[in-house]
């Protein structure tokens, strides 16, 4: 025990990389001729404790952040009464939710109904395990990290489906069905978008992707702007956030999949939504923004602080879109994915493959070729977006832009409409566009 104390006191300043700590513990156990498995158990527990405490802090603090930020966007204050700056508001919310009775409909499928909130929470936490929090700070440094996070991020939709279906409620069923439709639609572009990055960096290891960006001093966002947009949109659809919060759709289906949940079960959904948002922000921060790396800054500031900063920068984008945009209709959202995002992602993949091939074959230095590719890809993305809006975008041109103004009443002479006998009147224009 004194040894552990010395360990902590002598290394307290070295917080740049928490792996130092676990390295010291490993050394300590080896010196004491401890069993080999203990090393893994201790470092795994340490990492897990760190991640879980981070998640816990996120679930509490993000409620406050989101409500404050959206409050500012809506020209109001947001929670500001409980505690300093309203910081205790999430605590108050949580206490209220715990006190509430957990109601379960008589007709609900009990097991599915109870498991869904848990199944919704777990993937968001697991994603954090494979993310590199510092140079040597990945709890599980998987070689197939990208596949792992893709698999986990789509699990959430399954839990939402289970919750909606198990509630045995029509609104919840709507939400559940919409989630599944969105899952099969938005998985494809998001996978294709990440595939471009994998091609570029040549590895599926998330640490490897960060090291690639650190090595060439080039965040992949600059080289791959189009996949960033695609992944951002499709992950916001998967996260059920406005403008794609169709599974919840408060104004249409009154909460959708969680309409029957109350108390802490609802609280889990609520918290897990924020956790998942942070997980996706962390993925974007890792693969597009360079994770813990930030030019020379990461030599002074601890990498995990930079990483958290980047996570919240991306998270702010999510909050921003949520506070600004109205919601799509489900058919419009799916059409957007199939008609725009998937073809764009494919085109981008072809371009990236060609670029990587040229780079590998010619062997030009990265300092020359990467800025060139950055400009090229940005131009490509711009051209594709503009062309799509021009040729395939929604057309409103047949509608006049402005209203007419009359200074006197003016009623055209119209034929009277004969009424149907079943209570309605005909005359509704049949030519609604689909």
Partner 1 sequence: MPLKSEPVEVNIGPQHPSTHGVFRMVATIDGERITDVKMIVGYLHRSMEKLAEERTYTQNIPFTDRMDYLSAINSNLGYCLAVEKLAGIEVPERATVLRVIFSELQRVASHCMATGAFINDCGAWQTPVMYTFRDREKVLDLIEMTCGARITTNYIRIGGVAFDIPDEFLPALDRLVNDDLPQRFDEYDRLLVGNEIILMRARDVGVVTPELAINAALSGPMLRSAGIAWDLRKADPYCGYDTYAFDIPVGYNGDSYDRMVIRIEEMKQSLRIIRQAVHRLPGGPHKTDVPLALRPPAGEAYARIESPKGELGFYIVSDGGPAPYRWHVRAPSLINLSVLKEMTVGQTIADAIVTLGSIDINVGEVDR
Partner 2 sequence: MPHPVTLTLAGAVVAERIRGALPGAVREAADGYTVLDPARMYEAMAFIRDDEVLDGKYLVQLCSVDQVTRIDVVYHIASLAQNHIFEVKVPADHEHPEVASVAPLWAGATLQEREAYDLMGVRFAGHPNLTRLFLWDQFPGHPLRKDFLALPGGQKPGLSQFPKQVPGQTGGEFRPRLPGSGE
| Binding range to partner 1, per CB under 8 A, among 124-132, 245-253, 261-269, 292-300 | 245-253
DSSP state of 338: I
Applying CB under 8 A, the site for partner 1 has a residue count of 56
| CB of 49 vs partner 1, minimal distance in Å | 35
CB 59: neighbour CB atoms within 10 A?
23
Of 12, 37, 391, 406, the one binding partner 1 by CB under 8 A: 406
Q: Which of 10, 27, 56, 250 binds partner 1 (CB under 8 A)?
A: 250
Query: Closest distance between partner 2 and the C-beta of residue 106, in Å?
Result: 14
Distance CA(45)–CA(38), nearest Å, equals 10
When CB distances are held under 5 to 8 angstroms depending on the partner's kind, the choice from partner 2, partner 1, none that residue 429 binds is partner 1
Q: Considering the complex, what minimum distance in angstroms separates the CB of residue 401 from partner 1?
A: 9
Q: Least Å distance between CB 173 and partner 2?
A: 19
d(CA 246, CA 330): 7
Contact call for residue 329 and partner 1 (CB under 8 A): yes
User: Among 133, 171, 232, 261, which residue interacts with partner 1 (rule: CB under 8 A)?
Assistant: 171
Residue 427 CB, nearest approach to partner 2 (Å): 9
- Taking the CA atoms of residue 277, residue 278, residue 284 and residue 290 in that order, the dihedral angle to the nearest 10 degrees is 170
Q: Which of partner 2, partner 1, none does residue 250 bind to, with CB < 5 to 8 Å depending on kind?
A: partner 1
Nearer to partner 1 among residue 363 and residue 426 (C-beta): 426
Minimum distance of partner 1 from residue 327's CB (angstroms): 2
**What residue has token string 């409409």?**
417
Which of 401/430 has CB closer to partner 2? 430
- Alpha helices for 168-301 (secondary structure H): 170-201, 206-216, 220-223, 225-238, 250-253, 263-287
Asked whether position 412 contacts partner 1 by CB under 8 A, the answer is yes
By CB under 8 A, residue 429 contacts partner 1: yes
> What span, in angstroms and rounded, lies between the C-alpha atoms of 86 and 80?
4
Please, what is the angle between helix 263-287 and helix 225-238, to 10°? 170
Q: Which residues bind partner 2 (CB under 8 A)?
A: 408-414, 416-425
Residue 22, SS3?
Answer: helix
| Residue for token pair 């009464």 | 81
Q: How far is CA 123 from CA 28, 191, 263, 275, 419, in A?
A: 33, 17, 22, 9, 57
Q: Which is nearer to partner 2, 5 or 411 (CB)?
A: 411
Query: If binding is defined by CB under 8 A, does position 414 make contact with partner 1?
Result: yes
Contact call for residue 243 and partner 1 (CB under 8 A): yes
Residue with smaller CB distance to partner 2, 300 or 411: 411
Distance CA 230, CA 280 (A): 13
253, 268, 308, 352: which one binds partner 1 (CB under 8 A)? 253
Backbone angles phi, psi at 192, to 5 degrees: -65, -35
Q: How many CB atoms sit inside 10 A of residue 55's CB?
A: 20
Eight-state DSSP code of residue 423: S
CB atoms < 10 A from the CB of 306, how many? 22
254 binds partner 1 per the rule CB under 8 A: yes
- Listed residue (54, 55, 187, 51) closest to 121, CA to CA: 55
- Quote the DSSP letter at residue 290: -
DSSP class of 81: S
**Minimum CB–partner distance for residue 348 and partner 1 (Å):** 23
Least distance from partner 2 to the Cβ atom of residue 105, Å: 15
Binding residues among 366-405 for partner 1 as defined by CB under 8 A? 394, 396, 399-400, 403-405
Long-range interactions of 19-24: CB distance < 8 A, separation 24+: 19/134, 19/135, 19/136, 19/137, 21/46, 22/46, 22/47
User: What is the closest distance, in whole angstroms, from the C-beta atom of residue 333 to partner 1 in the complex?
Assistant: 10
Q: Which stretch binds partner 1 (CB under 8 A): 88-96, 241-249, 264-272, 368-376?
A: 241-249
| Site stretch for partner 1 (CB under 8 A), options 55-63, 225-233, 330-338, 353-361 | 330-338
Tell whether residue 325 is a contact of partner 1 (CB under 8 A): yes
Residue 36 is encoded by which pair of tokens? 């080999």
CA 223 to chain centre: 21
Q: Within positions 140 to 159, which residues make up the interface with partner 1, using CB under 8 A?
A: none
**Residue ranges in contact with partner 1 by CB under 8 A:** 70, 73-76, 170-171, 174, 242-243, 245, 249-254, 322-332, 394, 396, 399-400, 403-412, 414-417, 419, 423-429, 432-433
């Amino acid at each position: 025990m004194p040894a552990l104390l010395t360990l902590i006191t002598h290394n307290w300043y070295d917080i740049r990389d928490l792996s130092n700590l676990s390295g010291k513990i490993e050394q300590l156990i080896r010196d004491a001729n401890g069993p080999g498995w203990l090393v893994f158990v201790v470092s795994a527990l340490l990492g897990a404790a760190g991640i879980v405490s981070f998640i816990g802090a996120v679930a509490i603090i993000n409620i406050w952040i989101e409500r404050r930020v959206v409050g500012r966007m809506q020209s109001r204050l947001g929670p500001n009464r409980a505690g300093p700056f309203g910081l205790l508001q999430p605590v108050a919310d949580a206490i209220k939710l715990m006190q509430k009775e957990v109601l379960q409909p008589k007709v609900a499928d009990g097991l599915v109904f109870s498991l869904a909130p848990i199944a919704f929470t777990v993937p968001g936490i697991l994603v954090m395990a494979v993310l590199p929090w510092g140079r040597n700070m990945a709890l599980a440094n998987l070689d197939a990290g990208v596949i792992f996070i893709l698999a986990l991020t789509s699990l959430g939709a399954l839990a939402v489906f289970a919750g909606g279906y198990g509630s045995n409620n029509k609104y919840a069923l709507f939400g559940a069905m919409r989630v599944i439709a969105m899952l099969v639609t938005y998985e494809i572009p998001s996978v294709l978008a990440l595939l471009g990055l994998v091609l570029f960096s040549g590895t599926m290891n998330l640490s490897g992707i960060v090291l690639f960006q650190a090595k060439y001093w080039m965040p992949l966002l600059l080289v791959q702007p189009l996949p960033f947009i695609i992944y951002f949109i499709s992950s916001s659809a998967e996260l059920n956030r406005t403008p794609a919060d169709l599974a919840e759709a408060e104004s249409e289906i009154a909460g959708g999949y969680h309409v029957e949940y109350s108390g802490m079960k609802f609280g889990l959904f609520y918290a897990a939504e924020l956790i998942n948002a942070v997980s996706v922000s962390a993925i974007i921060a890792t693969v597009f923004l360079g994770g813990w790396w930030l030019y020379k800054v990461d030599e002074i500031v601890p990498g995990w602080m930079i990483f958290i900063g980047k996570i919240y920068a991306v998270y702010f984008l999510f909050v921003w879109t949520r506070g600004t945009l109205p919601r799509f209709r489900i058919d419009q959202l799916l059409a957007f994915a199939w008609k725009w995002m998937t073809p764009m992602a494919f085109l981008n993949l072809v371009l990236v493959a060609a670029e990587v091939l040229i780079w590998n074959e010619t062997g030009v230095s990265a300092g020359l070729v990467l800025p060139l590719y950055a400009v090229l890809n940005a131009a490509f993305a711009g051209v594709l977006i503009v062309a799509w809006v021009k040729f395939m975008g929604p057309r409103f041109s047949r509608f006049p832009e402005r209203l007419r103004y009359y200074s006197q009443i003016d009623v055209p002479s119209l034929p009277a409409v004969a009424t149907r006998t079943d209570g309605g009147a005909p005359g509704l224009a049949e030519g609604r566009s689909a």
